Structures are given as structure tokens and as C-alpha cells.
Amino acid sequence: MIKKLPFAAILIGTFAFLATAQNVIQLPDSLYTAGDTITWVKRVPAYCEGPAWEPATGSVYFTQQGANSAANWPIHRVKPGVDTGIIWYAFRQNNGIEFDKQGRLIVAQDGRLSRLKQAAVGDSGVIDSILVTSGTNGVSFSQANDLSIGSKGDIYFTALGSAVYYLSPSRQLSSVTTNITQANGIEWLEEQKAVYVNSTGGGVYRFEIDSTNNALINRTTFISTAMQPGTDGGCVDSHNNRWVASYSQGYIKVYSARGDSIGRVSLANPPGSFNNRGGVAGNADNCAFGGADLKTLFITGDGGLYSLKVKVAGRPPAQGPVAVRRGLPQSRHVPSVETESRDLRGRLLAPDAKVPSVKAPVREAGR
């Protein structure tokens, strides 16, 4: 995720919608059923970020980005197939979001991380706790960008610049690496003792974790910038495939656990959609898995929130008791996840797996 540039223009009123606007889906048949289409779940006349799925309510949350000078970047809450959503939280500059093990929403904001709570059904969210602010322990950061929460409530997060930060369960803040260019999306795979950091200027890096101080060490390149220009946020499925967004190219590209490119979902730029970021096909900046079976890919970018049904489930989010009630593993950080990409029958996903190329019209939610 990237701090958003000042708006060149804001669209007023409802988007114009044309059925001829098309996306291109190129995924292996083990990941996608040919013919399924991308749904425009929620239209917002802005560049949006940070989707997060909440199993307790069946809702998706995402942030609406604004001009650097705008104090308030709202968080939207949508229940797909039920309602078109509300603005749930409308102050501070909100960027990346994720639910912790107790089902509370943690949000990366300008100069801080906050934990939010809902006062009552229908009410706007309120701050439960400010977890950390810039300057804690003498460590400063600007716009907190993206975050990944561990099983103990500790957090690795990025901010605009070259550093990655670690917040301990006791809320001690440290800078754990400066060995990166334009740190962006981040994913902590606890069972691997590794952190993957998306770099806008460098692709995706893999770091090991120093157990003595939680510093990120032994950097290797998992995906090069040539393979993934304009790297932004992303998500991981239960086969350890990584779904990585490129805001400049307008796609979510899929990589196996070994870093092989195995497919992509390219967003079109439908006439009437908001396009301030200059992507070649309508910007895509982040994604998250959701739905009762975690087999819906939610995508943010120009124009709001999109979704696509896929065959593989995402890594279970850290939802604790809520996840248990829904028959899901308790944590997103589970040691049973495959270390290689496999299809639904357990077979290794071959590099030459059949990849259909489907031009799919953007479908509006409810139609």
C-alpha cells in the first residue's frame, strides 16, 4: 500500500456502468472455474485499499484513500450480497487493516497503529486503544502502511520509507530492518519463521527472523521487480501461493510457494471508474480472502471493492473462537499449510498447468 497522491479529480454521484468493460482472468484450472466473473461489490469514487474479512459478521472492511492533506480517510464496511455497506469509521488517515485473534480491527494510520471497536450495531466504530505512536522508544515512522499480526498479538508493519517495524505484545517498538526499498505490503508466516515484504521498488523480499530480538535478517529476493513492477499489497492462500497486487499494472499476480508465476487477474478500467494512479488496466493494490469458506478473493483498487470466486481457500485469519465456530482453524499461522503449491487433489501444481484466459465483464453486485 502506498500513501495516496493528491486527487486530480473526484467523480461526483454514481459511476457510469458499461457492460462492455472487461477484465482478463488467467488462472490455472486448479485455482479458478472458467466462466466465473469479477463482481464490483462496492463502488467508491476514489482509490481504495486494505480489504479485511470479518467472519463474525460476514462483512468486508476496506479503506478509502484521500489526498495527503485530507485528515480523514474513511473505512467502509460491506456485507456482500446483503447490503451496500456504510462508512464505519471516518477519521484519521487509515491505510492497511487486519483483524486480530480476538476479532478486533487493527488499522495502520498516520503515525500510529490503532485498535478499533464497534459501539453497537449500526453505530460508527470508535477507538478501543492506540497501540503505538511514532516516537515510541525513540523510533519514528510516518504513514503506517500495512501490517501482519502474530499469534501473540505482536505485529510487523511497514511505513513509507525503507524500514520495517516490530511491535511486541508489551507494545515495545523497534525498527527491525532498513534493508529494503519502499516497503509496502507485508505478510508474517509464523510457522516458517519468515516475513515477506513487498517492495514497490524491488518486488518481494523474504526475511528470516532473529529469535533474539525479532530483527529481520538474511534477506533474499522471492519475486524480482522485473516480474512484479509496482508491487503493492497482497495475500496468501492455504497452499502458500502468494497473490500480489501491482498498482501500476492493474493486476493481482499469483506465485507458487517457490516463487514461480502461475497466473493473474487483470482489472479493466471500466468507463466511469476512478483512475488517478495511472495503471495500465485500472489499478489493483491489495487483496484478501473471505467468505464462509475463504474462497472469495476481495480486491481493492480504483473505484472501490471487487470480488472473484476461486477454488482455493485463503489462509485462515487470526479469529480465535469465532473461527472455531465456523469450522476454521484458530489461527492464520498454522503449521499444517502446504509448503508447495498443490491443486485440490493434493497434486503439485505444475508450471505448465492449464491456464484459461477469460475475458469477463465486470458484474455489479446484485445483478
- Model confidence at 344, pLDDT cuts 50, 70, 90, reads very low
**How many Å apart are CA 170 and CA 175, to the nearest integer?**
15
Residues 182-191 have pLDDT tens digits of 899 999 999 9
Mean per-residue pLDDT, 25-38: 94
Residues 6+ apart with CB under 8 A from 3: 68, 95, 142, 143, 145, 160
Instruction: Give the pLDDT score at 121.
Output: 61
**How many Å apart are CA 254 and CA 235, to the nearest integer?**
10
**How many Å apart are CA 143 and CA 306, to the nearest integer?**
25
Instruction: Give the pLDDT score at 117.
Output: 86
- Model confidence at 122, pLDDT cuts 50, 70, 90, reads low
Mean per-residue pLDDT, 150-163: 92
Instruction: Give the pLDDT score at 328.
Output: 37
Mean per-residue pLDDT, 294-321: 86
**Domain 22-342+352-364 belongs in CATH node 2.120.10.30:** yes
**How many Å apart are CA 91 and CA 350, to the nearest integer?**
47
- The DSSP line for 301-316 is EEEEEEEEE-SSPBPP
**Is residue 109 scored above 80 in pLDDT?**
yes
- Model confidence at 22, pLDDT cuts 50, 70, 90, reads confident
Q: What is the DSSP letter of 325?
A: H
**How many Å apart are CA 318 and CA 279, to the nearest integer?**
32
Q: Which of 58, 82, 134, 121 is nearest to 293 (CA)?
A: 58
Residue that wins the pLDDT comparison between 268 and 16: 268
Residues 73-108 have pLDDT tens digits of 999 999 998 988 899 998 889 999 999 988 899 999
C-alpha cell at 173: 517498538
**Is residue 336 scored above 60 in pLDDT?**
no
**How many Å apart are CA 82 and CA 71, to the nearest integer?**
31
The beta strands (E) that lie in 111-199 are given as 112-118, 125-133, 144-149, 155-159, 164-167, 173-177, 183-189, 194-199
Check if the beta carbon of residue 247 is closer than 8 Å to that of residue 277.
Answer: yes
Mean pLDDT of the chain: 82
Q: What percent of the chain has pLDDT over 70?
A: 77
Q: What percent of the chain has pLDDT over 90?
A: 61
Mean per-residue pLDDT, 15-37: 74
Check if the beta carbon of residue 250 is closer than 8 Å to that of residue 21.
Answer: no
Residues 6+ apart with CB under 8 A from 35: 358
- Model confidence at 130, pLDDT cuts 50, 70, 90, reads very high
**Is residue 292 scored above 70 in pLDDT?**
yes
Of the candidate ranges 18-32, 259-273, 302-316, the one whose mean pLDDT is the lowest:
18-32
pTM score, two decimals? 0.84
Domain boundaries, the chain: 22-342+352-364
Please compute, for residue 259, the number of CA atoms within 13 A of its CA located in the half-sphere on the CB side. 14
